[in-house]
Chains A and B, each alone.
Chain A
């Protein structure tokens, strides 16, 4: 029954499975819109598409949130705030990149102050493509995230912690005036 190739650290215990089952049904999304994509969030949350039936709800502060939704383009100025916000969130935490702009820059790929690939700066668990993605695809993306959580594969936060140097190097390449507190993990 036991697979000897799986090492002790990666083994999933029954406790993990129960925990992940609970987590996937209670995703609190930080109400923080960065780009134009935030306009698709109100219809997703309200009665027409009713994301709450999947356990997706808004939360007020980063420390209460599980999911950071990057809705569209990120200016370098906003990126600084987003990194601070992400680092304040408590694990388990997940990032969803929303819209073409987070994937390859979208229509702002040649702009002087928007980043082109979000996963160089933050660990993205799920990308939702589209410009803009409709509420159906937003919910689809959340369901994908839920299945990743249930399988224990949504480990972006761990990757961020392990490869913090690489992420920091990329972040500091853009944000020249780095005056940020170091959050403890």
Chain B
């Protein structure tokens, strides 16, 4: 259990006081998560950097919640003095995704933003290097979105050498041969393929 006045709780308190709509949670030692409205992210990052000494942007990532028709942006910040990590999350529209560039706070955000632009189709306003990044001559749906069908694309684009048709599910085949009882929860991801 964490002390009441440990660094993690202090950070959480400070964030709650400043951003009243934020959902703050102390996950465990050294880890605090913050859920924010998308327009509050730039002020939050600025506040964390300037007033809470979160000097380091460790990572940015993007998650596709296709069921909710939303994209989630995740910012991971680190405080060297207090040894606390903040994971700030926000949801944005999935269609014509747009967000403000956080390049002005951390320069390394530019590279992440270029990647999200290419792989998820998010447009970052204020980042002027959103061009071709890793992929070459890519047209169509950004490939990391979950409604992009990679197998279908691969089958249409690249020559498929025959020989994979009889590929068996190794785990299920061995279980069948040896008469092994596969527990119900494991069946979902082992036997399913062979029965389809």
Contacts and interface: CB of A to CB of B under 8 A. Distances in A.
Interface of A: 76-77, 80, 103-105, 109-117, 120, 170, 173-177
By secondary structure, the B interface counts as: loop
Chain B interface size range:
10 to 19
15 contacts: A103-B161, A105-B154, A105-B158, A110-B154, A112-B153, A112-B154, A113-B135, A113-B143, A114-B158, A116-B154, A116-B158, A116-B159, A116-B160, A174-B157, A177-B137
Interface of B: 135-137, 139, 143, 148, 150-151, 153-154, 157-161, 163-164
Nearest to B167: A109
A109 B160 contact: yes
A112 B150 contact: yes
Nearest to B162: A104
A102 B136 CA distance: 20
Which of the listed residues B135, B139, B159 has the most CB atoms from chain A within 10 Å of its own CB?
B159
Given A110-B150, A116-B154, A105 B161 contact: yes
Nearest to A174: B157
Contacts of B148: 112
Contact of A116 (B135, B137, B161): B161
Contacts, number: 51
B81 to A, nearest CB: 40
A169 to B, nearest CB: 12
By secondary structure, the A interface counts as: loop
Contacts of A76: 136
Which of the listed residues B137, B139, B158, B164 has the most CB atoms from chain A within 10 Å of its own CB?
B158
A2 B137 CA distance: 56
Given A110-B151, A111-B150, A177 B161 contact: no
A170 B135 CA distance: 20
Given A120-B159, A177-B136, A177-B137, A109 B164 contact: yes
A117 B151 CA distance: 15
B160 to A, nearest CB: 6
A170 B158 CA distance: 9
Given A115-B158, A173-B157, A177-B136, 16 more contacts: A77-B135, A80-B136, A103-B161, A104-B160, A104-B161, A109-B160, A109-B164, A110-B150, A110-B154, A111-B150, A112-B143, A113-B135, A116-B159, A174-B157, A175-B137, A177-B137
B147 to A, nearest CB: 13
A104 B164 CA distance: 9
Contacts of A174: 157-158
Contacts of B135: 77, 113
A124 to B, nearest CB: 12
Contacts of B160: 104-105, 109, 116-117
Given A80-B136, A112-B148, A175-B137, A117 B143 contact: no
